Chains A and B, each alone.
Chain A
Amino acid sequence: MSRTAESQPDTPEPSDTPPRPWGDLSLLATDIHLTYQVRMAKENQTRRLFSRGGDRSEVYAVRGVSLAARQGEFVGLVGRNGSGKSTLLRVLAGVETPTSGTVQASSKPQLMGVGAALMPHLTGIDNIRIGLLAMGLTPAEVQERISRVAELADIGDSIRRPMRTYSSGMRARLRFAISVAADPGIIMIDEALSTGDDAFRERSNEAMKDLIARSGTGFLVNHSASAIRELCTRVIWLDQGEIVEDGETDQVMTHYSYFMNALRRHGEETAVEVKSRHQQDFAQRIDDIRSAGPGR
C-alpha cells in the first residue's frame, strides 16, 4: 500500500483481513522419516549387572512428513506428548539428520530449544558474544548488537553473572535474545518461551512478529493453545509422527481441541475416531498447495 492511499479517508481499510504477504518458498521437507534404535526393557524386567536394558527395538519418531513453508508464515506444530513435534523441528533445523528424506531451506534455520546454559562458567555477556560469533557474525557486528541483545533479554545485572547461576526462565530469555539477534531467516522455537513470564512473553512475541514481518519464517512448538493462536498463521497437527491436518490456525486448532477433549473424556478409541474425521490425505494437501499458488 502506498502512502497516498493511506491519506484517502474513504478507501476501505482491509484491516480485518490484511492481505497475507506470503513470500517465496523458504523451507521444503520431503518424506522425512526418523527411526531411533533403542533398548526396550521387557515387562517386569529389572536390569541386572551384565545385561543391557532389554532388546534392541526401533522407535518411529517421524514417519513420512512432507511440508513446505513460505516467507511470512508462522507455523505452529501441535500434537500430544510423543507425537514427534520436537523431533521433527530438530530435523527441519538440520540439527538431527533424518533416516531418510531431505530438508531444504533458503537459509540456515536457527533452532531455539529449552536447554542447559550454553557456557555455564561464562557470564551472560560472554555467552552473548560467543553465541553471536558462533552464528558467524563478525566481531564488529557483535560489538554493535551486544547491548541490544542484553536489552531484549532484560535480565538486569544478572547479565554479568555466570550463566550457571541463572533460573530456567532467565536462561530462556538469554537464549532467545541471542537467537533472534542474528536476524535468522528461519527461526524455530521449541517450548523454550513457556518458561518466561508475562512481560517477557510480550517482548518475545513482539520480536518474533518483527522477524516474520521482515519476511522471515517461523516454527513454533508449544503446548499452550493461546500462544499458538496468538502467533501462528498456520498450524500443523501431528500424531504418531504423521501429519493429521495442515491448515489455517483457527480450523486446525478447533479440530485439535476436539481431539484432545475426546482423549481426555472418552479415551483413546473415541479420540482416534475424531482424528480420522479430520485426517487429510496427501492428495488433499497437494490440492491445498496448488490452490495457494500464484494462480489463486
Chain B
Amino acid sequence: MTAKFVEAVRESYDGIDRLTPVTGRPGLGSYVRQLWQRRHFIWWQSRSRVITSNDDSRLGSVWLVLRPLLDAVFYWLIFGVLLQFDRGMDNFVAFVIIGVFMYQFTSTALTAGTRTISSNLSLTRAFQFPRMALPVADLIFDIMQRMLAVLVMFGLIMLIPPHETPEWTWLLFPVLMLVQSVFDFGLMLIMARISTKIPDLTKLMQFVTRLLMYGSGVIFPIERLTANHPALHAIVEMNPVFVLLSMYREILIDGTVPSPEHWIMLLCWTAAVFLIGFFVFWLGEEEYGREQNR
C-alpha cells in the first residue's frame, strides 16, 4: 500500500526527486564541512558562556581568577606548609600546583562531556545543526576559562619558593596544551555519546575523576608508591594523563625536554582517543535530540 502511495505522489506531484531525508547523518566529510560552516555559532556560544558563567554570583567574572587562586592556596597550605610532603623533591609545591591545574583541564572536560547533550536540549530541539558543535563550544569555553588559570599557575610557581625561573623549555608548554586539548576533546565526545546511552555515568563521574586523579600522580608521585607492584606500575606508566603531567613537570620544573617515548605514547593516545571519539559521536548524531526513554 505504501508503494502505491509513493507511486501516486510521484505521478501527481512534481519534485519528488529533489527531496532529501530529514533524518539520517551526513557522511563524515560533509559532517566536518557543516561543522566548519557553524564556526560562528560555536564561537558566539562559547564566548557568551564565558561572559555569563558567573552571573549568578556577586563577584562575577572575578571568580575566573579567584577560583584557581583559592585552589592553589589550598594545596600549598596542605602539601607545602602542613605536611612537608616533599620526599626529597626540589620543588614539591610546583609539582602539586602544576598537577592540580593541568589535571583540572582534563577532569572538567570529562564531566562536561557527560552534560553537553543534556544541558543543551532546548537548542538541539529548536535548531538543526551538527550536534558536535556543542562539545566543540564546550571545549573552547573550557580553554578560554582555563587561560586565566594557566596565568595564575605560572605566577605561583615563580612566586612561591623555591622560585621557578623561565627556561627555554617553557616554550613547549603551548604545544603540550594543544595536545591535551585534542585529547580532552576526544574524551568529551566519548563521554557525550556514552552518557546519552547510559545516563548513570553522570553519577559515576565523581568517582572516575577521583580515581584518575590518584592514578595520574596529580598530588603525589604515584610512580614511587607503585614501585613494588610491577603490574600497577606498568598501568600507571601507560596512563596518558600521568604521562602528560610528567611532561608538563619536566618542561616547567626540570627544564628538560621530555623523552621521545613519552611524546610518542602521548601522541598515540591522543590520536586514538580523538579519532574514536569523533567517530562514535558522529555515529550517534540522530540520537541527541530524542526524548530518552529508559
Taking the nearest CB of chain B, how far is it from the CB of A116, in angstroms?
Answer: 5
Q: Which of B6-14, B212-220, B235-243 participates in binding chain A?
A: B6-14
Taking the nearest CB of chain B, how far is it from the CB of A128, in angstroms?
Answer: 11
Q: Which of B39-47, B140-148, B170-178, B275-283 participates in binding chain A?
A: B39-47
Chain B 264-294 interface mask (CB, 8 Å, partner A; 1/0): 0000000000000000000000110111011
Taking the nearest CB of chain A, how far is it from the CB of B47, in angstroms?
Answer: 10
B286 — which chain A residues lie within 8 A by C-beta?
A: 97
Q: A28-B19, A97-B286, A292-B12 are in contact. Are A118 and B291 (CB under 8 A)?
A: no
Q: Does B163 contact A (CB under 8 A)?
A: no
Q: Which of A261-296 contact B (CB under 8 A)?
A: 282, 285-286, 289-290, 292-295
Interface size on A, residues (CB 8 A): 62
Q: Do B293 and A112 have beta carbons less than 8 Å apart? A: no
B1 — which chain A residues lie within 8 A by C-beta?
A: 282
Q: A93-B22, A130-B41 are in contact. Are A118 and B9 (CB under 8 A)?
A: no
Taking the nearest CB of chain B, how far is it from the CB of A84, in angstroms?
Answer: 14
B44 — which chain A residues lie within 8 A by C-beta?
A: 126, 129-130, 133
In angstroms, Cα B122 to Cα A115, docked, is 7
Q: Which of A85-111 contact B (CB under 8 A)?
A: 92-98, 102-106, 108-111
Q: Do B122 and A136 have beta carbons less than 8 Å apart? A: no
In angstroms, Cα B18 to Cα A70, docked, is 13
Q: Does B123 contact A (CB under 8 A)?
A: yes
B23 — which chain A residues lie within 8 A by C-beta?
A: 94, 97-98, 103
A110 — which chain B residues lie within 8 A by C-beta?
A: 127-128
Q: Do B12 and A118 have beta carbons less than 8 Å apart? A: no
Q: Does B57 contact A (CB under 8 A)?
A: no
Query: Helix, strand, loop or mixed for chain A's interface?
Result: mixed
Taking the nearest CB of chain A, how far is it from the CB of B234, in angstroms?
Answer: 39
In angstroms, Cα B122 to Cα A130, docked, is 13
Interface size class of B (residues with CB under 8 A): 35 or more
Q: Which 6 A-B pairs have the closest CB atoms?
A: A293-B12, A94-B22, A24-B15, A133-B41, A104-B19, A134-B127
Q: List 29 A-B contacts (CB under 8 A).
A: A24-B18, A25-B9, A25-B19, A28-B9, A30-B6, A95-B290, A97-B286, A98-B23, A105-B19, A112-B126, A115-B122, A115-B125, A119-B123, A121-B52, A126-B44, A129-B44, A130-B41, A130-B45, A133-B38, A133-B40, A134-B126, A134-B127, A135-B127, A136-B38, A286-B4, A286-B8, A289-B5, A293-B8, A293-B11
Chain B interface (Cβ within 8 Å of chain A)? 1-2, 4-6, 8-9, 11-16, 18-23, 37-38, 40-41, 44-45, 48-49, 52, 55, 122-123, 125-129, 133, 286-287, 289-291, 293-294
Chain A interface (Cβ within 8 Å of chain B)? 23-28, 30-31, 36-38, 66, 68, 70, 92-98, 102-106, 108-113, 115-119, 121-122, 126, 129-131, 133-136, 138-139, 142, 162, 175, 179, 282, 285-286, 289-290, 292-295
